[in-house]
Amino acid sequence: MALSSLNVVIFGATGMVGHGTLLECLEDPSIQRIIIVVRRSMGITDEKLHEIIHNDFTDYKAIEDQLRNLDACFFCLGVSSVGIDEAEYRRISYDFPLSAAKTLLHLNPNLAFCHVTGAGTDSSEQGRLMWARVKGKTENDLLALTESAWMFRPGFIKPEKGVVASTKWIRRLYTILKPITPILKAIFPNSMTSTSILGRAMINAVRQRPTKKILETSDINQLGTTSN
């Protein structure tokens, strides 16, 4: 894969993490082409951005021709487990990323796949917390698909550059915590990151190919603040 120029696809660009990642990709001069797969238009115009409106995140046959010649996928699509049953949570948190990864790797065998899960994900798949078990299985099955996969487990994520959370209660939480965020960061430096750092970390993972496949918040902060 040519590291000097990257073609990438982002899933979940309308969400907080995905939007932050998109902004980092738009600002990176070495990223040549960006595809975002979304259900609704983001209304962003940029010469290197191509938007695909698509509704079925378990079937990509209709858009396969637009998903070729890619170097990396940043899969940031997700949902809170609050108020959702296990079947629906599994469909979004497991079926969606696995379907995307299988399709993209079939079309682009050398593709790097970066997936955002979360701090506390259960790799054993046996714990009490439903969301952690599901995310653990997702991580395990993605890592089994390809050696070029990295799992990102951020804790608290500070939105930057105008990015906002798409979920109302999360937006309210960030508003409440905003005044004390610097204090929290000083007390818990290994539990907090930002949308900008997380986006940069995924870009750097594609370029640097770290040997560590599951990246916790401290790893994300280190990777996202190092230069290539």
Q: 145-169, pLDDT tens digit by residue?
A: 999 999 999 998 888 877 776 666 5
Identify the band that residue 182 occupies on the pLDDT scale cut at 50, 70 and 90: confident
Mean pLDDT value across residues 183-192 = 68
**pLDDT tens-digit readout, 191-209:** 789 999 999 999 999 999 9
**Number of domains the chain is built from:** 1
- For the ranges 78-82, 89-93, 179-183, the maximum mean pLDDT occurs at 89-93
CATH of the domain at 39: 3.40.50.720
SS3 of the chain = CCCCCEEEEEECCCCHHHHHHHHHHHHCCCEEEEEEEECCCCCCCCCCEEEEECCCCCCCHHHHHHHCCCCEEEECCCCCCCCCCHHHHHHHHHHHHHHHHHHHHHHCCCCEEEEECCCCCCCCCCCCCHHHHHHHHHHHHHHHHCCCEEEEECCEEECCCCCCCCCHHHHHHHHHHHHHHHHHHHHCCCCEEEHHHHHHHHHHHHHHCCCCCEEEHHHHHHHHCCCC
Q: Is there a domain that residue 1 lies in? A: no
170 or 18, which is more confident? 18
- pLDDT > 70: what percent of the chain? 87
The set of residues, in sequence order, having a beta carbon less than 8 Å from that of 160 and lying 6+ positions away, is 20, 194, 195, 196
Is residue 20 assigned to a domain?
yes
Contact 148, 112 (CB under 8 A): yes
Find the domain containing 60 and state its range.
6-224
> How, if at all, do strands 149-153 and 49-53 pair?
unpaired
pLDDT score, position 37: 98
pTM of the entire predicted model: 0.90
47-67 confidence digits (pLDDT tens): 999 999 999 999 999 999 999
The radius of gyration computed from the CA coordinates of the chain, to the nearest angstrom, equals 17
- The answer as to whether 145 is a domain residue is yes
Cα 32 to Cα 24: distance, rounded to the nearest angstrom: 13
